[in-house]
Amino acid sequence: MKNTIAIVGRPNVGKSTLFNRLVGHRKAIMDNQSGVTRDRHYGYGEWIGKHFTVIDTGGYVHGSDDVFEEGIRRQVKLAIDEADVVLFMVDVDAGLHGLDEEFANVLRRYQGKKPIYLVANKADTNARAHAAGEFYALGVGDGDIFTISSQSGSGTGDLLDAVVSHFEDPWEEVQDEGLPKIAVVGRPNVGKSSLVNLLLGEERTIVTDIAGTTRDAIKTRYNAFGNEFILIDTAGLRRKTKVKEDIEFYSVLRSIRAMEESDVCIVMLDATRGIEAQDVNIIGLADKNRKGIVILVNKWDLVEDKETNTTKKIEEQIYEKIAPIAYPPIIFTSVLTKQRVHKAIETAIQVYENKTKKIPTSQLNEVMLRVIEEHQPPSTKGKMVRIKYVTQLPTHNPVFAFFCNLPQYVSESYTRYLENRLRENFDFGGVPIGIIFRKK
């Protein structure tokens, strides 16, 4: 990535607040509890005609044995390596902290290799701004200390003037618009982050055996099979009654929003537990939002006593549980052993293509009028329905309008018949289809 800014520092100094200000909206989760941000979180911003990428990172804690903090340290170092400019944030209100000094030791190895700015946050008053001088003792940073208030925005303009001076020509902003968005969703601890890390070939998100590790919806541009798209890792979706912490509540909201904004959802299940009620709810939510769906049964390597028809039996169980939703393809995989992982992405791309395809009206009528002639709508109350014409509407999802004399008398079973024939003839695997009847 070009023109990249990494915001780093110890926990709870206001990194996510500054990140949200630089990208122009509340994208990172903020809370008074330290350690809320865990993964590298990306956003895009612009200043005086120059566009840039901003990376928010978790709070760096030196020497801790905590599994999350160990993962955060790796993520912070990856972010620094990735960045063109590093913003080392400290807290004027709290003063010079031992963790600041430890982190300064980490940053010294980058001194002279890339610009590092010492940013003293929470300098809301002149007295606090003057107190920032004590941070010169850290011996890190290019030039003066920038005193800012990320909450109010005070001082951020001067900081950005200095930062973008290192960016060469105005960079055309990375545009997510128009790129397919594929969200990886599911219950906690089914392997979502492991799948994303495997596909990207790097530790993009922290992975542990503890459910709820991922808290933000993490977006990454990805190229595969000649297609570029946005891959979104989400927090695990669990039942409302089990969402107790405020932070987890907001994480679940972000996951639902990521699902709503996506084009295709890869819904991951745990093969060792089978399809559970919450899995059914997640698939139902994706269907309700008219998303393409691929069901990925992960941890297939852990299933013992597999027989020739085991996959067929499990497929039947899944379709039975999610009925009447019958269109998502089901893939059995193991992220750990890399079994059929790329098949999942290949299928998701195909589902996106199915979702966005437009069938020419002439072809539709040639096929579907013949289908209708073979099996006419049943009469209702002595009324005969005559379908004369069909066309695909210009919508984001496949919706077909059938023009007939008596649209109010078309039965639900006949609507399903037409949907099945559309799927058979035009391949809409993984995609919900809408059918409406209009008076001709």
438 is in an annotated binding site: no
Fold of 361-439: GMP Synthetase; Chain A, domain 3 (3.30.300)
Asked if the domains at 4-166 and 181-356 fall in one CATH topology, the answer is yes
236 is in an annotated binding site: yes
169 is in an annotated binding site: no
Domain residue ranges in the chain: 4-166, 181-356, 361-439
pLDDT tens digits along 26-62: 444 333 433 434 345 667 788 887 888 888 887 665 5
3-class DSSP string for the chain: CCCEEEEEECCCCCHHHHHHHHHCCCCCCCCCCCCCCCCCEEEEEEECCEEEEEEECCCCCCCCCCHHHHHHHHHHHHHHHHCCEEEEEEECCCCCCHHHHHHHHHHHHHCCCCCEEEEEECCCCHHHHHHHHHHHHHCCCCCCCEECCCCCCCCHHHHHHHHHCCCCCCCCCCCCCCCCEEEEEECCCCCHHHHHHHHHCCCCCCCCCCCCCCCCCEEEEEEECCEEEEEEECCCCCCHHHCCCHHHHHHHHHHHHHHHHCCEEEEEEECCCCCCHHHHHHHHHHHHCCCEEEEEEECHHHCCCCCCCHHHHHHHHHHHHHCCCCCCCEEECECCCCECHHHHHHHHHHHHHHHHCCCCHHHHHHHHHHHHHHCCCCCECCECCCEEEEEECCCCCCEEEEEECCHHHCCHHHHHHHHHHHHHHHCCCCCCCEEEEEEC
58 is in an annotated binding site: yes
132 is in an annotated binding site: no
354 is in an annotated binding site: no
112 is in an annotated binding site: no
13 is in an annotated binding site: yes
47 is in an annotated binding site: no
189 is in an annotated binding site: yes
60 is in an annotated binding site: yes
Domain 4-166, CATH: 3.40.50.300
205 is in an annotated binding site: no
pLDDT tens digits along 238-250: 444 443 443 333 3
56 is in an annotated binding site: yes
Per-residue pLDDT 10s for the chain (440 aa) are 568 898 988 888 888 889 888 887 544 433 343 343 434 566 778 888 788 888 888 766 555 444 445 656 677 777 788 789 999 999 998 899 888 898 888 888 888 889 999 999 998 888 888 888 899 999 888 778 999 998 888 999 999 999 999 986 544 444 455 688 898 888 877 888 788 778 876 544 333 333 333 334 466 777 766 778 888 877 544 444 443 443 333 344 555 667 777 899 999 899 999 998 888 888 888 898 899 999 999 999 998 877 878 899 999 999 999 999 999 999 999 999 989 988 998 999 999 999 999 999 999 999 999 999 999 998 877 789 999 999 999 988 899 999 999 999 899 999 999 999 999 999 999 999 999 999 97
The class (CATH top level) of 181-356 is alpha beta
383 is in an annotated binding site: no
119 is in an annotated binding site: no
Percent of the chain with pLDDT strictly greater than 70: 79
193 is in an annotated binding site: yes
14 is in an annotated binding site: yes
155 is in an annotated binding site: no
Burial class (CB in 10 A: 0-12, 13-18, 19+), 197: middle
Instruction: Please give the Cα distance from 192 to 344 (Å, whole number).
Output: 12
190 is in an annotated binding site: yes
